[in-house]
Structures are given as structure tokens and as C-alpha cells.
Chains A and B, each alone.
Chain A
Amino acid sequence: MGRRILLEDEAKAWLGRAGMPVNPTRLCRDDGEAVALARAFGYPVALKVRSELALHKSESGGVHLNIDGDEEVRRSFAVLRGLVRDDPRAGVTVQPMAAPGAELIVGVYRDAQFGPVLAFGPGGFFAELYRDVALRLLPLEAQVVRGLFTAIRGRKLLTGYRHLPPVDTGALERLILAVSALVEQTPALVEMDLNPVVAYREGVLVLDARAVLDDGGT
């Protein structure tokens, strides 16, 4: 089965068109373009490597956060581009720095016997460490989505924990229902991660995403 990977900027653009709140993310081919984008977004910004050879960006040192100034953007661009010299299609993405909040993962995959499945839990760097995800068969109804919020061990992440305020579960519910609808409309979608989704007191934001589509080839 032929597969096409939607990298961060492509996946977020797709999710954004589907009405989901995404952190705007643009691909740039050279450092001049990166600086122009960074200025347009306003500092500070985040730069990330963009290549199929570096899907796990943090692990490969491909995420530079809190870049604050034109010179820093140029230096960062050079380092990131250097990580994936072997990939002629590689690039660097620029996006505004998002405020910190509760980091969650919303994932989708297809099981051979059950069909499309949604996974939800604490996300970001710790997602794989704790593996605290609840699974639900798609499509979902709102009531089932709300059940997700209490099904995970890390449910306090949603109700307020230490310095984190209680999160906007209404917005989170709308996001998950939108993912559910998108999966229904996209039979070619094989798997997808929205990780992290950052949830705030008001609103949620998809901070990183990638998707795998079956392109119909063999």
C-alpha cells in the first residue's frame, strides 16, 4: 500500500481547513523567508525541521523554541537544515510560540478488526512514557467524548493541576468531534497524531500534527 505522509505544516493546514484551531505553521525554503515569516508572526517563534526523515522531531534535535530575533532565526535555520541534508525535499517550518497549557494527544489509527479508533490522553513529550490513553471506536457522539475526559489516569490535567487551570473541555470536545467527522469523510486516512494539543482555560490549540494517508498506490 502506498502511503503519503502529511508533515506538520500540511497536516495543520488540512486540519485548519476542517475548522480545527491550529497554530499557524509555514514552510520556508531559505533563511530570508524564515526571517520574513517570523517577523510577520511576531517574536518569539518556534522553528522545526520538516522532513520525512525526521518524523520524531524532538528526539532528533529538530525543534528550536523561543527564537527571538532575526539573527537567531538565521542561525537556527542553518542548524535545522543541516540535520536533514540528505533529504532534498526537507525544509524548516516557522510558527508563533504558543502559550503553555495542558498538553494532550488526540490520535487516530485503523485497526484491522475494529476499523477507525481514536486515542486520547496526556500528550507531548510524556505521551509514550505514560501511555495513558483511552481508546474509542470512531465515529463518536458527544456523550462518549465527555466520557474520555474521566477515563484517563491523568484526568487532573483537565480539571486543573498545580499551576495549570481547568481546561476548556467544551473546546476539546468540539475538536475531538471534528477529528471524528474528518476521519469519517477521509477513508484514505490511515493514522494521525495531533500531539500536542494544548488546552487552555479558554480554547484549545493544535500545536503539532502529522497524518498518514493511503495514496491508493501499491
Chain B
Amino acid sequence: MTPTSNLPALFSPRSVAVLGATAEVDRVGYNILASLLYGGFAGDIYPVHPRLGELQGLRVYPSLAAVPVPPDLAVIALNERATVAALKECGRLGVRAAVCLAGGYKETGPAGARLEAELVETAAQYGIALAGPNTLGLINTGANLYVTFYPLRLASGSVSLVSQSGGMGLTMLYKAMDEGLGIEKFVVVGNRSVLDVADYLAYLGDDPGTRAVGLFLEGVEDARRLVELAGRVNRVKPVVVYKAGEAAAAAYAALTHTGSMVGHHRLYLEACRQYGLYTVDSADRAVTALKALTTAPPAQGRRVAVVTHTAGPGIVLVDRLGAGGAVFPPLSPETEAAVKKVMGDTPPVVIKNPLDAAGLGLSPDVIGRLTAVLRADPAFDLVLVVFCQHPHWPFPSPQLASLSGSKPVVACYIATQAGVRAEQGVLAAAGVPVYNSLEAAAGAADALMWYGGRGN
């Protein structure tokens, strides 16, 4: 077995040992155990501590060797030196996967690098799938496996995230929770000394539970291999890339014009786009795009219709999306006639695109019917619907959810986060992603148009 062939044991273990479990609430070892329990892991959990008898209601084992059956996964919440010894014991006992949480390795200098080399050697010797070291951990919601020291319970979904940073990983997770976006798998790659971003990505590419992957990248050594792999995965399921480090200047001493004109961050973005990947410049935008790509079908072109009851948001959407190459064709005579059937022969509005239904649009039924009319028009590839939160005029969610057809509809409810939250479920189930900002709705539409055209 090799580290990569043992990835299933890392994400779907039958049993988990926690080395370094402790009763002290502010310690990582406590929170790993709390996280496993809070997440509802159904397999066996073996806390390991030399002296304690019981922790959080679980029997504690004095050593890994004392655990009745070697666990599939060992979570090692010990310091950097003890982690090395613990991993060797894991290998001898036949543990196939490990999460090494401690930092203090190559990121601290030569002494740390030597310790890390021991981890790498041990993992290679026994074929252990090693996540980290220096990682926040990982999650597989399908198995209720929460191996991070931030106890969480996430909605299960089809989006998987790979992050080079714990903090940015959490940023995406918390944003996903706000957006009502379910997660399938999550991993913070840490020092990448055994399993690298590309290994996780290849695994998720083949993972039937994962329908889209979000990557937060700081930088990897073999960026070409990663981008080429992501391009292959992207043909089957969307890969969204958020690459940080825009400010880092290109360290390229160039004798030619070309070399001095190019920044490394630019190259990352263009290489991603060359391979059809959708790139974003914030964690929020990553989540926005991933939600759109796993909720709605991709748009087959860049022709957008807008239905609204207030003009300004229509103008803003035209601005935002137009900059990215979207077009807003006029309504055909047939569509105009169909709109008049909804709004009357002499509606008090100008019938055009964006279609501002003004006062008539305060009725959720009118918004729903207008959306159906524009969606049926073959001149459009995507319909955006704008509606403002009001205590007496309900959101048009049931109407939008009852529409049939394969063309994407994106809803923008101008509302509070709390106001839109109750609408997320019914709309998501009907394939309509809903956002509470125009920027997010425009980002969602852009992602759907990108993936439909794979960047063209």
C-alpha cells in the first residue's frame, strides 16, 4: 500500500484513535475528541492517554498498542517530537492513515525539517496516508467524520474543499454554512510532506460524493502538474481556484521584455483559465461559485435576462456581468407578447431587458410567471431574478421552485442573511441558487456561464 492508495482509510475510516486526547478543554487533543463526538462519528473512537480512564464518556486506552483492534485512522494531537514516535508505532501496528496536527517542522528551520523527514520516511515505509503535519485536519460529512480541532457540524452536500490554510479553510466553511451550501469533504493540507494538493484533488476527482471542488492555494512546487490535473478533473466536475499571494512580486531577473512584464500570480490565473478552471479572488466568491455550480445547470452561453421589480439592481447586474462578457439581448416580439399576457396589454412599465415589473413585480406570482416566460425564450441562456425582502410580500420562492426546464435561474433576494436563510432549502432543491447580494448573484451567473463554455 502507498499513502495515496490508503486515502480511503483517511477519509472513511471504520475506527479512529486519538493520540494525545486530554481532559483540558483548551487543548487540541480535547477538541479533536469533542469534534468527533459532536459530529456524530458512528465508528469506534479510541482516545489514547497513558493515565486517564475516561474522557467525554469514552474509555481511554493507555497506549495505541492497548487498543483492541488497530484503528484505520490515527489522529495525532501530540507535540512535533512525540508525533514522530507515535507515527512509527502506528506503522508497526498497521494503522493505514494518520492526521498529524502539530506544527514545528520544516516551517521552523533545519531541525524541524529533519523531524519532518522522519515523518515522511515512516509514512513511505508503511504506506501511511498522512495528512499534515501542521494541519487543522479534515472532514467527511458523508461518514460524519470531523477530525478538526474546531468542533463543527456541517450540512452534508456535494462540494469538497482542499485548502492550503486552516484559516482560509474555515473561512470557506463558515461562508458555506451561511449560504446553506452542503459540504462533502474538507481537508487542510498543512505541510504537504506526504500527501499534496494534487493527491487530494485526484482522490476527489474520482470521489462519487464530490460534484465540485474548491481549492485555496498559496503555492506549490509543481504548479504545472497541479493545474493539468485540475484541468482533467474539471472536465468531469467543476474545480474552482482561489489563489492567494497577489502582492508577491515576481522574482524573475529578465533580459527580455516578456520576463519583466509578467507577475507570478498572473501566470497562475492564466494557467488555470487555460485549463478551464474558474478562478476567484476571495473565499466568498469561491463559495458563491461552488454553490451555483452544484445547484444549477451550467449556462450554454452568455446571454442573460433579468427580472426585477426595481430598476437599479438591473443596471448593476448589467454592469457587473457585462464586464465579464455577458450580453443582455432585447426581448423578442413573441416574448414581449407573452410578458403582456402576464402584465396586461398596457403595463405601466417599459418592456425590455432587464425587465423591471415595478409595482406589478411585488406579486410573487407575477415574478414567477415572468421568469417562466424569459426562461422559455431561446434568446437567453440564464435568467436572474431580483426580489426585495418585505414583511407582507413574500419571496417568490415557491413560484421559482415550481418552474421546469433545464436553463439556469439565479435568484438574488435583497435581504438580510436571516431573511434569505429560510428560502435557501426550497430553492436549492429546485436547482435555483439564491444569494442576498447582487455581487454574489452576478458571481454565480458568471461561474455558470464560465463552466458552460469552459472559459470560452
Residues of A near any B CB (own CB < 8 A):
3, 5, 55, 105, 107-109, 111, 113-115, 117, 119, 127-128, 131, 133-137, 144, 147, 191-193, 195, 210, 212
B258 & A107 in contact (Cβ 8 Å cutoff): yes
In angstroms, Cα B257 to Cα A107, docked, is: 8
Task: Verify if B264 is at the interface (C-beta below 8 Å from A).
Answer: yes
In angstroms, Cα B267 to Cα A218, docked, is: 28
B255 & A191 in contact (Cβ 8 Å cutoff): yes
A-B pairs with beta carbons under 8 Å apart, 11 shown? A107-B256, A107-B259, A109-B262, A111-B252, A113-B222, A128-B257, A128-B260, A133-B261, A133-B262, A191-B255, A192-B256
With A114-B267, A137-B271, A137-B274 known to touch, is A212 a contact of B261 (CB < 8 Å)? no
Minimum Cβ distance to chain B for residue A109 (Å): 5
Which of B255, B256, B260, B271 counts the most A-chain CB atoms under 10 A from its CB? B256
Point out the residues of chain A lying under 8 angstroms from B271, CB to CB.
114, 135-137
A109 & B224 in contact (Cβ 8 Å cutoff): no
For residue A3, which residue of chain B has the nearest CB? B255
B254 & A191 in contact (Cβ 8 Å cutoff): yes
Point out the residues of chain B lying under 8 angstroms from A137, CB to CB.
224, 227, 271, 274
Which of A128, A133, A135, A192 counts the most B-chain CB atoms under 10 A from its CB? A135
Which of B223, B256, B270 is close to A109, meaning CB atoms less than 8 Å apart?
B256
Point out the residues of chain B lying under 8 angstroms from A210, CB to CB.
255-256
Name the interface size band of chain B: 20 to 34
Give the residues from 219 to 261 in chain B that come closer than 8 angstroms, CB to CB, to chain A.
219-224, 227, 252, 254-261
Point out the residues of chain B lying under 8 angstroms from A134, CB to CB.
270
In angstroms, Cα B255 to Cα A157, docked, is: 26
Residues of B near any A CB (own CB < 8 A):
219-224, 227, 252, 254-262, 264, 266-267, 270-271, 274, 456
Point out the residues of chain A lying under 8 angstroms from B227, CB to CB.
114, 137
In angstroms, Cα B256 to Cα A192, docked, is: 7
Minimum Cβ distance to chain A for residue B105 (Å): 22
Minimum Cβ distance to chain B for residue A111 (Å): 6
With A127-B261, A135-B266 known to touch, is A144 a contact of B274 (CB < 8 Å)? yes
Which of A105, A115, A147 is close to B258, meaning CB atoms less than 8 Å apart?
A105
Point out the residues of chain B lying under 8 angstroms from A119, CB to CB.
258, 261-262
A191 & B274 in contact (Cβ 8 Å cutoff): no
Which of A5, A127, A131, A195 is close to B255, meaning CB atoms less than 8 Å apart?
A5
B257 & A113 in contact (Cβ 8 Å cutoff): no
Minimum Cβ distance to chain A for residue B185 (Å): 26
With A134-B270, A137-B274 known to touch, is A191 a contact of B259 (CB < 8 Å)? yes
Minimum Cβ distance to chain B for residue A211 (Å): 8
Which of A114, A144, A192, A212 is close to B223, meaning CB atoms less than 8 Å apart?
A114
Point out the residues of chain A lying under 8 angstroms from B257, CB to CB.
105, 107, 127-128, 193, 195
Point out the residues of chain B lying under 8 angstroms from A133, CB to CB.
258, 261-262
A113 & B220 in contact (Cβ 8 Å cutoff): yes
Point out the residues of chain B lying under 8 angstroms from A113, CB to CB.
219-224, 264
Interface of B is mostly: helix
In angstroms, Cα B267 to Cα A109, docked, is: 11
In angstroms, Cα B250 to Cα A135, docked, is: 14
With A114-B271, A135-B262 known to touch, is A191 a contact of B219 (CB < 8 Å)? no
In angstroms, Cα B334 to Cα A136, docked, is: 44
For residue A192, which residue of chain B has the nearest CB? B256
In angstroms, Cα B220 to Cα A4, docked, is: 30
In angstroms, Cα B219 to Cα A147, docked, is: 26
Which of A55, A128, A131, A136 is close to B274, meaning CB atoms less than 8 Å apart?
A136
Minimum Cβ distance to chain B for residue A104 (Å): 12
With A113-B220, A114-B223 known to touch, is A147 a contact of B259 (CB < 8 Å)? no
In angstroms, Cα B276 to Cα A136, docked, is: 12
In angstroms, Cα B222 to Cα A84, docked, is: 42
Which of A5, A107, A109, A191 counts the most B-chain CB atoms under 10 A from its CB? A109
Which of B219, B220, B267 is close to A117, meaning CB atoms less than 8 Å apart?
B267
Point out the residues of chain B lying under 8 angstroms from A111, CB to CB.
223, 252, 264, 267
For residue A209, which residue of chain B has the nearest CB? B256
Point out the residues of chain A lying under 8 angstroms from B456, CB to CB.
147
In angstroms, Cα B271 to Cα A54, docked, is: 33
In angstroms, Cα B456 to Cα A136, docked, is: 15
In angstroms, Cα B267 to Cα A135, docked, is: 6
Q: A5-B255, A136-B274 are in contact. List 18 more A-B contacts (CB 8 A).
A: A3-B255, A107-B256, A107-B259, A107-B261, A109-B256, A111-B252, A113-B224, A114-B224, A114-B271, A119-B258, A127-B261, A128-B260, A128-B261, A133-B261, A147-B274, A191-B254, A193-B257, A195-B257
In angstroms, Cα B26 to Cα A161, docked, is: 67
B261 & A131 in contact (Cβ 8 Å cutoff): yes
B255 & A117 in contact (Cβ 8 Å cutoff): no
Point out the residues of chain A lying under 8 angstroms from B255, CB to CB.
3, 5, 55, 191, 210, 212
Point out the residues of chain B lying under 8 angstroms from A109, CB to CB.
252, 254, 256, 258-259, 262
In angstroms, Cα B110 to Cα A142, docked, is: 47
